[in-house]
Amino acid sequence: MYKLTIEENTYSCQPDETVLDALLRENVNISYACKKGTCHSCMVRSPDILPPQAAQAGLKNTLKKHNHFLACLCHPEQDMVIKLPDQSEFYTQGTVVANEMLNRNTLLLIIAFKDAFEFNAGQFVNLQRPDGLTRSYSIANTPQESNTLEFHIRRLANGRFSEWLHDELKVGDTVAVSEPRGHCFYLPERSDQGILLVGTGTGLAPLAGILTDALAHGHSGPIYLFHGSREVEDLYRIDEMRQLSRQHENFHYVPCVSGHHVPEGFGHGRVNEVALSSLTDLKGWRVFLCGHPEMVNQMKKMTFLKGAASADIYADAFLASPS
Amino acid sequence: MTDTQNNGEGIMSKPLYERIGGEPAVNAAVDIFYRKVLSDDRINRFFDNVDMEKQAAKQKSFLTMAFGGPHNYTGEDMRKGHAHLLKMGLDDSHFDAVVENLGATLEELNVPQELITEVVAICETTRNDVLGR
Ligand code: HEM
């Protein structure tokens, strides 16, 4: 019999029980449905130890890496600490060390921490205002770059949170930052695989992190980044990306503009359409999508139809609100 | 020897789900099958508004069921689960198209014809529930 610990509470898991059985018997409020590993409703996390392999069957590699597992398939092999998906989060205080504009409406915000902040490039965190208002933002840098997190924040019309970040927050102020979340990140494996990154607006943030990470790991397959917006003025980091593509033969950067005025050197049209017409066969590719929810949904389907395996298509769910 | 696993024809045999290869077979089939369904203009409109990621899990449930594997769905669940599609005009022709795509998927994976016939027979047992009759 093993102990299961959730926050302050400890439960016992009988020898023939799965973690889900035990928690349901103990009346723990956990979501579940099929009870046989298909629906993934009961996915939880083991923050400190590797869960049994059988309990990770069918999960995306990035979820496995962070010790996510299915409670309904898990017969514990030792005592376990369990984190439920909606469990209250642990916040760390960081200090703003830079805030400057990347273009006419996008703020670059860099927050520094006393200790190393562990994350994978491409994950997101929740930022919290002193009054408790919270929003999710993707991390734009990689963990190798000192104890800082970088964010790209677009000013939204009447967006209370983005206005606060743009207008009030100053260098030296502190901000509460949650633990990193999300499974949209690069894993250093299959390094000759093609990688397709498609983003609109500040969807560039996680993609830039993933790109830096992949290049730093010596990814040798072709990497394509398509970054789009309506007008050229809403793109950013154009010169840096072009510079990177000159330094790395396998990295191709295509900024796209869907509006009327399209300067030379830019793709014309919606970023998803430009990407799909440039790359016709995505069999064996890894795909990362970020930005406008409609674009993301459409691209999930289209890249799948063009051959990418569903397990190789990454997009984070929180982006349902336009960022 | 016991005869608990006789399949009625007097041949000792394991359940279909095991003979077809269990969960690995489901995993091998799911992308191929769903790609066919989404590319099939006869039926893809029924899948327009479903989230790809959630759908992948549901397709696995579908395949597990069709392969005779363990599942908790009742006929009533099948009725409820497809009721909104009836309003969109779901009928026998769409049902046939889904089964056809499933058969083509299994052929592509070199599953023997006898097993495909068994899978199709299992699908048939759900026809009236799926079509709300
Ligand atoms: C061959 C018989 C069929 C079986 C055994 C079957 C089985 C299933 C199962 C198990 C689910 C998942 C339910 C859930 O967990 O929520 C499902 C969902 C679904 N099925 Fe079927 N199905 C069949 C035929 C069809 C047909 C003919 C169509 C339409 C052409 C169809 C369209 C759908 C759709 C769109 C969903 C997802 C509903 C949603 O997520 O909103 N199915 N089916």
C-alpha–C-alpha distance, residues A171 and B124, integer Å: 66
A301 interface with B at CB cutoff 8 Å: yes
B21 CB under 6 A from ligand 1? no
A91: buried, middle or exposed (CB in 10 Å: 19+, 13-18, 0-12)?
middle
Q: Report whether B64 contacts B123 (CB < 8 A).
A: no
Nearest CA in chain A to B61: A38
The per-residue pLDDT for range A215-256, each reduced to its tens digit, is 999 999 999 999 999 999 999 999 999 999 999 999 999 999
Q: Which domains does chain B have, with CATH numbers?
A: 13-130 (1.10.490.10)
Superfamily of domain A91-178: Translation factors (2.40.30.10)
Beta bridge partners of A290: A199
- pTM above 0.80? yes
* Alpha carbon distance B120, A29 (integer Å): 39
Q: Is the pLDDT of residue A275 over 60?
A: yes
Where does the pLDDT of residue A110 fall: very low under 50, low under 70, confident under 90, or very high at 90 and above? very high
> According to CATH, what is the number of the domain A2-81?
3.10.20.30
Low-confidence ranges of chain B (pLDDT < 70): 1-12
From the list A253, A205, A254, A261, the residue with the least C-alpha distance to A232 is A261
Chain A residue at shortest CA distance from B57: A39
Would the CB of B94 count as within 6 Å of ligand 1? yes
A53 at the B interface (CB within 8 A)?
A: no
Among B30, B52, B60, the residue with its CB nearest the CB of A300 is B52
Q: Is B67 in the pocket of ligand 1 (CB under 6 A)?
A: no
pLDDT tens readout for residues A46-89: 999 999 999 998 888 888 988 999 999 999 999 999 998 776 67
The pLDDT value recorded for residue A60 is 84
For domain A195-314, give the CATH number: 3.40.50.80
Which tokens hold the place of A207? 């993609």
Mind listing the pLDDT tens digit for each residue in B1-38?
A: 344 444 444 455 789 999 999 888 998 999 999 999 99
Which of the listed residues B85, B105, B106 should we mutate to test ligand 1's pocket, taking the one with most ligand atoms within 8 A of CB? B85
| Cα separation values, B73 from A18, A35, A44, A258, B117, Å | 21, 12, 24, 46, 22
Q: How close A180 gets to chain B, by Cα (Å)?
A: 21
> Are the folds of A2-81 and A195-314 the same?
no
What are the extents of the domains in chain A?
Answer: 2-81, 91-178, 195-314
Say if CB A289 and CB A296 are below 8 A apart.
Answer: yes
